[in-house]
Amino acid sequence: MRVLSIGECMAEMSPQDEAGVFRLGFAGDTFNTAWYLRRLNPDISISYYTGLGTDAISGQLRATIKDADINDQYGVVVPDSTVGLYLISLENGERSFSYWRGQSAARSLASDPRALSLAIDDHDLIYFSGITLAILNALGRETLLAALRAGRAKGRTIVFDPNLRPRLWEDNETMLQGTMAGAEVSDIVLPSFEDEATWFEDVDPKATAQRYQTAGANTVIVKNGADAIYHCSPQGEGTVSVPSIADVIDTTAAGDSFNAAILAGLNDGVSLPQSIAAACQLSGAVVQARGALVSVKPMSLKH
């Protein structure tokens, strides 16, 4: 399986033990999923599509992508832009974030429709998120959605995590409309119920799944924190219990890693409940360590 993940990877400044000292890293929802998928199954071909500048930090990000054994040949180069930045602040163990995205080259990732379409045609599965949509302007969103729609018509599998982040959108109504537009071009949607209940006022995970299926998705898996995960697909519906975790240290990338295990399950051809169980196991390990990218072992879901 050839996987293309589309989105933004940002420079991350994380505080260290010494006051005023920060460590530079790189992370972002769609990159995190690609990174975990690479670790779960080294045999899957994975590419990352984004926008990069020509400055030094863009070069560092490109090196990070390559070092992760992820193909960086796709995407666009935006000479007068750079990499988005976020800074993590800690207070009594709680994380908060400050963002600088104005000059992010990733905001122009849909500026070349031909390059985008060629990249989609070169892969079997395309993964994107609500953040991918949110950072684009209206024209960029429509360009991306059109390319994904065309890819789906050609038999590509389109996977979408709504990842609702209202601060990134022009307004809440645009976010809701854009999210549903993302679902309309997707085969698989991977929402988080807490966000969906807040912004779409869904009464339960089944209502979330039905809304996305009505929009056009075939399969929906509704993440729900520590509560049971609801799933529905042409093969039926059901729930999968989430194992309890005694010590949650950092929930960063919990959903991103979960999604990676779902994609790995698609490659391995296993049942949806089996993929979800493996995804719970992986995300459970991730939240018991600090940071977005946590060392994990390769994993085959096949018996």
Which amino acid type is present at position 113? P
Rounded CA-CA distance 166/175 in Å is 7
Rounded CA-CA distance 260/9 in Å is 16
Angle (nearest 5°) at CA 198 between 177 and 261? 80
Rounded CA-CA distance 206/188 in Å is 15
Name residue 7's beta-bridge partners.
none
Task: State the pairing for strand pair 157-161/22-27.
Answer: unpaired
Which amino acid type is present at position 67? D
Query: SS3 for 224?
Result: coil
Give catalytic status of residue 256 as yes or no.
yes
Rounded CA-CA distance 191/224 in Å is 9
Task: State the pairing for strand pair 94-100/85-91.
Answer: antiparallel
Rounded CA-CA distance 203/196 in Å is 9
Given the residues 187, 195, 202, 256, the one annotated as active site: 256
Rounded CA-CA distance 144/128 in Å is 10
Which amino acid type is present at position 165? R
Name residue 52's beta-bridge partners.
77
- What are the tokens at 2? 């050839």
Catalytic residues: 256
